[in-house]
Each structure stands twice: as structure tokens, then as C-alpha cells.
């Protein structure tokens, strides 16, 4: 592996990847992916460098999928399963998730117009009153938020559940920063950090780089 000078313990490698190295020796210890929050150890990086042709040759990047993707929190998906939502609730929620805007969380019908209860009712072939009740439930649970102006009602998706983009707007953050989802996400991140720290301590005791 390459060796760097004593300039810190993280060095930017690409858009999402950072080299983690010992600031005292310059020796690379691994790679951190800021988007997936995954750290690949030095042994994993060396194995990939040695076998990257076989590894990449076994990957299928274009399998006929749509180019439109959303980011979901694995932890929040598990939590959503325990929210006591009905099948109709999930239908409305999934439809709204399909219209979440890039970095803003704004939920639209695909033409930048806010997704309306009338449109959702027609799309799902259910009564508008049913949609109204479901929207109120989703708002009460902090899954979505509503912003009402003189001209229209706009809905926004909780980014601790789903978001698009590598960052979110400050307005969207402020909408949901005090919800239970934000608190749970913080607790989960703290657990992950403690687990990584425990792994590093264990490796150090065993003399593993």
C-alpha cells in the first residue's frame, strides 16, 4: 500500500471515498465511504486491488432498472413496519415516496406541482376522505409534514426516513429535526460509532491493522 506524509488521518480519494491512514506513520488503514457510512479495512482494500478485475467483471450495472432512485434508511424501514399503519396507509405513503424531490423532500406529482389528496385518491382508486385521514395520520406520526399557504398545501417527506441527494436543504432539516425519527437516527448513529470504536479497540488488542 502507498504511504502518505503526516497530514492528518483522512484524505479525500473521490466524491464519496476517503483514505483513512495513521497520521504518525502515514500507513493507509482503510477506506471510508461517506455515502454508505462503511469502512473497508486495509486487508479488504488490498484484496480488491488484487482482484478488482474479477470482482468488477461479476457486476451488472445496467439490468434494465429505472435511473430514478431514492435513499432509504434501513433503520427507519424497520421502524415503519412497527408504526401500526394499514395497507391503505402504506399505499398512500409509497405513492408519496415516489414523488419526493431532490434535496428538498418536496412531494410532487412529477410536474413540480404539489401532490394533492384528490390526485392520490384518483391514482389509488380510493375515496378522498380516506386519503385525508391517512395524510393526517402520517403527519401526526412525523412521517411527512405539511406547509400551508394562501395558494396551496405542500407535503414534505421526513429525510430521516427517505431522501434524495447527498445533502438536504436547511428548511427540510428544520421541519423534522425534533421528530422521534431524528432522535432515533441520532441514537442509531451513536450505536454504530460505538460499535466501530469497539472493533478498532479489539483489532488493536489483537495486533490487526
Give the residue extent of every domain in the chain.
1-59, 71-185
**Do the beta carbons of residue 20 and residue 28 sit within 8 Å?**
yes
As a CATH number, domain 71-185 is 1.10.10.10
Q: List the Cα angle 62/123/142 in 5-degree steps.
A: 85
**Is-above-0.85 flag for pTM?**
no
Kindly indicate the confidence band of residue 69, based on its pLDDT and cuts at 50, 70 and 90: low
CA distance 50 to 22: 22
- The cell numbers describing 95, all together, are 405513492
Give the CA distances from residue 106 to residues 76, 138, 207, in Å, rounded to whole numbers and listed in that order: 19, 15, 49
CA distance 29 to 39: 10
When pLDDT is averaged across residues 80-107 and rounded to a whole number, the result is 93
Does 8 have pLDDT greater than 70?
no
Residues in the chain: 209
Q: Which of these, 52, 31, 50, 34, lies nearest to 42 by C-alpha position?
A: 31
pLDDT tens track for 143-160: 999 999 888 899 999 998
pLDDT tens track for 179-205: 988 888 888 778 878 877 777 777 676
Give the number of C-alpha atoms closer than 13 A to the C-alpha of residue 156, restricted to the C-beta side.
21
Collapse the DSSP code of 157 into the 3-class scheme (helix H, G, I; strand E, B; otherwise coil) and give the result.
Answer: strand
Amino acid at each position: 500500500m502507498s504511504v502518505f506524509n503526516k497530514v492528518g488521518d483522512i484524505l479525500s480519494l473521490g466524491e464519496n471515498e476517503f483514505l483513512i491512514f495513521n497520521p504518525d506513520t502515514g500507513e493507509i488503514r482503510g477506506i471510508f465511504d461517506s455515502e454508505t457510512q462503511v469502512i473497508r479495512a486495509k486487508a479488504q482494500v488490498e484484496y480488491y486491488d488484487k482482484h478488482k478485475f474479477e470482482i468488477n467483471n461479476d457486476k451488472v450495472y445496467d439490468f434494465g432498472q429505472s435511473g430514478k432512485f431514492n435513499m432509504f434508511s434501513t433503520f427507519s424501514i424497520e421502524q415503519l413496519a412497527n408504526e401500526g399503519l394499514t395497507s391503505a396507509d402504506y399505499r398512500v405513503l409509497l405513492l408519496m415516496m415516489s414523488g419526493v424531490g431532490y434535496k428538498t423532500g418536496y412531494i410532487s406529482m412529477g410536474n413540480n406541482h404539489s401532490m394533492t389528496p384528490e390526485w392520490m385518491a384518483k391514482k389509488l382508486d380510493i375515496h378522498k376522505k380516506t386519503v385525508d385521514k391517512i395524510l393526517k395520520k402520517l403527519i401526526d406520526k412525523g412521517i411527512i409534514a405539511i406547509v400551508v399557504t394562501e395558494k396551496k398545501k405542500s407535503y414534505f417527506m421526513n429525510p430521516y426516513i427517505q431522501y434524495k441527494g447527498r445533502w438536504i436543504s436547511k428548511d427540510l432539516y428544520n421541519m423534522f429535526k425534533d421528530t422521534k425519527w431524528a432522535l432515533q437516527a441520532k441514537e442509531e448513529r451513536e450505536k454504530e460509532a460505538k460499535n466501530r470504536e469497539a472493533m478498532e479497540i479489539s483489532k488493536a488488542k489483537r495486533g490487526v491493522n
